[in-house]
Chains A and B, each alone.
Chain A
Amino acid sequence: MTELPEGAKPRVAPIPDAESEPFWSGTLAGKLLVQECSVCGQRQLYGRSLCTNCHSAALTWIETSGRGTIYSRTIIRQNPSRSFKHLIPFVVALIDLDEGPRMMSNVVGIPAEDVKIGDRVRVTFEPVSDAAALPLFELDR
């Protein structure tokens, strides 16, 4: 991990709970997981105790390819949080995973202005705590 500028705080780490623990455990193992319904086949994020389509409780976590397409994105140029101010400008994006669910993340590794809607991206993991790594995305070229 790179050293933080003076006054900056580490990135915000998620606090896993009973429903999200499998997802965040997966990130520690370098896997991006989504929930799949054994009855209707729907896949969903975030983790829940029922399927939002057929309301079955028969859900399992499956591993994705870690690839997706940018549905929308913005460049954050103002955020007073000490966890993020030093990263400005940075990209926040909504990513449609190839397996179906949409998730929010950051697109990293290229200048913010170069990240476009429709770009193909793939996951990369940044350790953030003992309980989770952040699934960030970079361009899939």
Chain B
Amino acid sequence: MAVIAGVATTDYPHHPELTELGVHAIAADRALADAGISWDDVDGYASAGFFPMHAVQLCEYFGLNPSYLDETNTGGSSFEVLVEHAAHAIDRGHAEVVLITYGSVQLSQMGRRLGTGGSGPPPVGPAAADAVWGNTLVGNYAMAAARHQHDYGTTSEQLAEIAVTMRDHASVNPLAQYRDPITIDDVLSSRLVADPLHMLDCCVISDGGAACVVTSDERARDLRKPPAHILGAAHALTHHLNISQMPDINLTAAAQSGPLALKRAGISLTDVDVLQVYDSFTITVLLTLEDLGFCGKGEGGAFVEGGRLRWDGPLPTNTDGGGLSSCHPGMRGMFLIVEAVRQLRGEGTARQVADAEVALVHGTGGMLSTGATLILGSHAS
């Protein structure tokens, strides 16, 4: 069985002194050091970026000549998919040590205005269908939130509670971009970006990098840290980047990938001790909770009330502060994996979840387009 033997992040969220490739390099070197594996032992490499041959470029930059290479891009969920693929390669003996890295300097390069997604892609081909209306990235997620509120009576206060919990987790993460505690009223009185989503319903915009090292459990036995076993994985999609093509705006790919990953892991949701889910927006978390099956469709609003997602609550979620408060450098999926592994090792510091043995990681990519679920465990079964 394949395992994650090393994880690391850079000292996010500001890297004005670095290039994107340099951020990858720091994350890579730290993850290998965390595992106690040398660069010379890396025979597989994976990463996702916005331009073709991205992973090839990184190999050239690093001076790597691997026999396993993957640059599957499903947006923010890419890194969960890359770990799934790496596990297959290792289980088949096609690779022994797969390094997976992410890096971004989007805050330093482009600034905060990127946050609304500008005016979208060039209006040609299928993209033209959604690109000529002045919609923004936030607007897509806002329409999901609006429909959820319409169908199920979900309130903006309930969505805000998710942001409040993430900020509490970030408050003790020394690297987190925003650490001052916030209240539900703070979220509701922050400016509306796209109704019903307020500024504090939206993820932050950061620089940052993260990496992990996937290897075999056999290889991991004499390494520095206890491994996180990859118990199960699956991915799915509902549409590309036109949200007009999403059949049900409140039913995400998590409804397909979640149950499949759990089945492959041979566990049920009640076995999950800690959860790391993509929190591009508060509504993303709410829909993911429902679609993974932690509550019924439409019940997410009531489900998150009362601090259920707090690190010391019944379903500890995004214990590093998430993309909503800690770090969101564009494609956050790798950060979910890093935090899950740290929790399983007992390295969660001030937000360590007691007796965390099983972690569920779920990445979401595109415009609620793709979902990828990983089940990680501190034991092999």
Contact = CB atoms under 8 A, between A and B. Distances in A.
Interface in B98-132: 113, 116, 118-119, 122-126, 128-132
Interface string B177-221: 000000000000001111111000000000000000000000000
Contact of A73 (B132, B136, B146): B146
A78 B129 contact: no
A61 interface: no
B57 interface: no
B202 to A, nearest CB: 10
B372 interface: no
Contact of A77 (B123, B133, B146, B192): B192
Interface in A68-115: 71-81, 83-84, 87, 90, 92-94, 102-106
Interface residues on A, range: 35 or more
A78 B123 contact: no
B316 to A, nearest CB: 31
Contacts of A94: 143, 243-244, 249
A1 interface: no
B128 to A, nearest CB: 4
Contacts of B196: 74
Interface residues of B, number: 37
Contacts of B224: none
A46 B129 contact: yes
A79 B118 contact: yes
Nearest to B146: A72
Interface string A12-40: 11111101100000000000000000000
A73 B143 contact: yes
Contact of B134 (A16, A79, A103): A79
B134 A104 contact: no
B147 interface: yes
B344 interface: no
A121 interface: no
A90 B136 contact: no
Contacts of A75: 192, 194-195
Contacts of A83: 119, 134
Contacts of A80: 113, 116, 118
A117 interface: yes
B113 A77 contact: no
B124 A78 contact: no
B124 A15 contact: yes
Given A76-B194, A117-B150, A81 B135 contact: no
A34 to B, nearest CB: 12
B139 A74 contact: yes
B139 A76 contact: yes
Which of B139, B144, B197 is packed against the most chain A CB atoms within 10 Å?
A: B139
Contacts of B146: 72-74, 117
B132 A12 contact: yes
A12 B118 contact: no
A45 interface: yes
B191 A92 contact: no
A72 B144 CA distance: 7
A11 interface: yes
B116 A79 contact: yes
A134 B134 CA distance: 12
For the complex of A and B, 4 pairs with smallest distance between CB atoms: A81-B119, A84-B134, A74-B142, A72-B143
Interface of B: 113, 116, 118-119, 122-126, 128-136, 138-139, 142-144, 146-147, 150, 191-197, 242-244, 249
Given A92-B194, A104-B129, 10 more contacts: A14-B131, A16-B128, A71-B147, A72-B143, A74-B143, A74-B194, A75-B195, A76-B134, A104-B133, A117-B150
22 contacts: A12-B134, A14-B128, A15-B124, A17-B124, A45-B244, A72-B143, A72-B146, A72-B150, A72-B249, A76-B139, A78-B136, A79-B134, A81-B119, A84-B119, A90-B134, A92-B143, A94-B249, A103-B244, A104-B135, A104-B242, A104-B243, A105-B133
